[in-house]
């Protein structure tokens, strides 16, 4: 049976002490979707991503990936099942080179990293394959001539591009991107938008983004969160027209101006 829903959240909440950052959110992400989550600062978007990727533990509710309950699984198990994330705050190895950052992720995927049981020529060929994939990915994200630079030497925009390459190196089925365009120049944002648009359908994209031009250019589905709650989900046109959405954004003029 083909499950058309890749990710499903049912009544998912996150409490920090007595504060509820995510409040009973139910949400379905179709396989192959370009699904954006928007909402004012503090709406709970990053927290929700943490619950989906596994960096935060869910207080109540269930999260299923391909029908499988992943609510209590640690991050690495979810990566193994095809979840990859780029974070709002960079998670690169700053002292390693650009190529090494991508290669490490690619090696983890092929199982050719240190300490695995793979031996002899299989290990060599897996490493060669990982290296080739890392190079291809750096080309794809627009960093073909940056291989040997330390990640710390990259510009802000280039780091975000590198993060995307690292995430793609794990061959994810679900790619979570938390404000990938934050701090990018318009040209870098455009390049990133094209990169995401060109991803194959096998990669389902769940995106949190403040740049609404980018959201409405990329997304086929938009969810609006407000005060930890799921406000509405619809097509970009439906969401743009929603009075509820206008109201949620009222007073946060910087975010819906574009």
Binding site for ligand ADP (CB under 6 A): 16, 19, 21, 39, 41-47
Nearer to Mg ion, 45 or 109 (CB): 45
CB of 126 to Mg ion, least distance (A): 36
- DSSP conformation class of 40: S
Residue 203 binds which of Mg ion, ligand ADP, none (CB < 5-8 A, kind-dependent): none
CB 38, CB 244: distance < 8 Å: no
Question: Judged by CB under 5 A, does residue 86 bind Mg ion?
Answer: no
- Report residue 109 as tokens: 């995927």
Nearer to ligand ADP, 42 or 236 (CB): 42
Query: Which residue is at the shortest CB distance from Mg ion?
Result: 46
Nearer to Mg ion, 39 or 113 (CB): 39
CB 178, CB 163: distance < 8 Å: no
- Report residue 112 as tokens: 């050719």
The residue from 8, 22, 38, 46 that contacts Mg ion (CB under 5 A) is: 46
The CA distances from residue 206 to 1, 21, 54, 179, 233, in Å, are 24, 19, 15, 11, 13
- Report residue 13 as tokens: 């909440």
Question: Nearest-CA neighbor of 58 among 41, 76, 70?
Answer: 70
Nearer to ligand ADP, 22 or 141 (CB): 22
Residue 113 binds which of Mg ion, ligand ADP, none (CB < 5-8 A, kind-dependent): none
CB of 127 to ligand ADP, least distance (A): 38
CB of 144 to ligand ADP, least distance (A): 32
Which residue intervals of the chain are DSSP H helices?
45-53, 75-80, 98-110, 120-141, 156-169, 186-197, 212-218, 236-241, 243-249, 253-256
Nearer to ligand ADP, 6 or 224 (CB): 224
Binding interface with Mg ion (CB under 5 A):
45-46
């Amino acid at each position: 049976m083909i499950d058309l829903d890749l990710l499903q959240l049912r009544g998912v909440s996150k409490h920090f002490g007595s504060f509820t950052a995510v409040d009973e959110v139910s949400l379905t992400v179709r396989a192959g979707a370009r699904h954006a989550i928007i909402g004012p600062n503090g709406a709970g978007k990053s927290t929700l991503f943490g619950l989906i990727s596994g960096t935060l533990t869910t207080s109540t509710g269930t999260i299923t990936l391909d029908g499988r309950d992943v609510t209590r699984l640690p991050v690495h198990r979810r990566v193994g099942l095809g979840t990859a994330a780029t974070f709002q705050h960079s998670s690169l190895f700053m002292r390693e080179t650009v190529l090494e950052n991508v290669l490490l992720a690619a090696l983890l995927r092929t199982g050719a990293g240190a300490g695995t049981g793979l031996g002899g020529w299989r290990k060599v060929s897996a490493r060669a394959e990982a290296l080739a994939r890392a190079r291809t990915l750096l080309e794809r994200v627009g960093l073909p001539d940056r291989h040997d630079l330390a990640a710390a030497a990259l510009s802000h925009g280039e780091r975000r591009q590198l993060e995307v390459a690292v995430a793609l190196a794990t061959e994810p089925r679900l790619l979570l991107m938390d404000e990938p365009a934050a701090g990018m120049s318009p040209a870098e944002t455009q390049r990133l938008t094209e990169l995401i648009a060109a991803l194959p359908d096998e990669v389902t994209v769940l995106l949190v983004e403040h740049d609404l031009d980018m959201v409405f250019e990329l997304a086929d589905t938009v969810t609006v969160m407000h005060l930890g709650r799921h406000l509405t989900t619809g097509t970009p046109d439906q969401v743009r027209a929603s009075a509820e959405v206008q109201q949620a954004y009222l007073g946060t003029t910087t975010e819906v101006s574009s």
